[in-house]
């Protein structure tokens, strides 16, 4: 019987750049295809709204989809949400790291791609929450909804008639979903 060698976050960081995005799940490399245009449009709309809000108030850092967060170690899990926020008080030493964040984001945003499976998205949500993420937003372009997870028991599904709020991570942040999905 042979055992498969597990990768570390450091191994992942050293991979050569190609046309794929990679995540690391319990030491196993997960290859992800580039997303479609609608996915990218929604991810940047959310990141831009978050970035504008956060920067004006000096609340921390908003990151784009390629940003890795080391959620667990031994074996390592590195996830890259489509948008994320880390509060200023949690930034290690007040400096944004050159490598992966050594922590979970305060807010993680996942935009569902046409090839994503429900079970995969649920696994990511659970991992974020288990690692300490306070809020996860799952954006579904097909149904034009955003599911807000504050825990696996505290879940709300918002439609275009709702306004997405940032509480408790980003108090007073709001984004009308009609505007997001326009």
Q: Tell me, what CATH number does 73's domain have?
A: 3.90.1570.10
Kindly report which listed range (10-14, 50-54, 142-146) carries the lowest average pLDDT score. Answer: 10-14
Report yes or no on 11 lying in a domain: no
Q: Residue 177 above 70 pLDDT?
A: yes
Mean model confidence pLDDT for the chain: 94
Q: pLDDT exceeding 90 applies to what percent of the chain?
A: 84
Given this model, what pLDDT does residue 20 score? 81
Report yes or no on 31 lying in a domain: no
Rounded to whole angstroms, the Cα distance separating 169 from 97 reads 21
Given this model, what pLDDT does residue 1 score? 58
Rounded to whole angstroms, the Cα distance separating 12 from 78 reads 9
Domain that includes residue 171, residue range: 36-180
Question: What's the structural domain count of the chain?
Answer: 1
Q: Residue 2 above 90 pLDDT?
A: no
Q: How far apart are the first and last CA of the chain?
A: 54
- Please provide residue 136's backbone torsions phi and psi, each rounded to the nearest 5 degrees: -125, 130
Given this model, what pLDDT does residue 16 score? 84
Rounded to whole angstroms, the Cα distance separating 89 from 112 reads 30
Report yes or no on 57 lying in a domain: yes
Contact 62, 85 (CB under 8 A): yes
C-alpha distances in angstroms, 55 versus 47, 51, 61, 77, 110? 12, 6, 8, 29, 21
């Amino acid at each position: 019987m042979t055992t498969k060698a597990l990768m570390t976050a450091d191994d992942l960081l050293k991979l050569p750049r190609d046309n794929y995005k990679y995540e690391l799940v319990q030491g196993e490399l997960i290859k992800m295809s580039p997303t479609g245009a609608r996915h990218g449009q929604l991810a940047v709309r959310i990141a831009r709204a978050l970035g504008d809000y956060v920067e004006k108030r000096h609340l921390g850092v908003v990151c784009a989809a390629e940003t890795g967060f080391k959620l667990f170690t031994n074996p390592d899990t590195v996830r890259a949400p489509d948008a994320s926020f880390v509060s200023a008080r949690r930034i290690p030493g007040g400096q944004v790291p050159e490598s992966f964040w050594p922590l979970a984001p305060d807010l993680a945003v996942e935009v569902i791609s046409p090839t994503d499976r429900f079970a995969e998205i649920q696994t990511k949500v659970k991992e974020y929450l288990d690692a300490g993420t306070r809020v996860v937003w799952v954006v579904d372009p097909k149904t034009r909804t955003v599911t807000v997870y504050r825990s696996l028991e505290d879940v709300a599904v918002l439609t275009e008639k709702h306004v997405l709020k940032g509480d408790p991570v980003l108090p007073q942040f709001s984004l009308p979903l009609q505007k997001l999905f326009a």
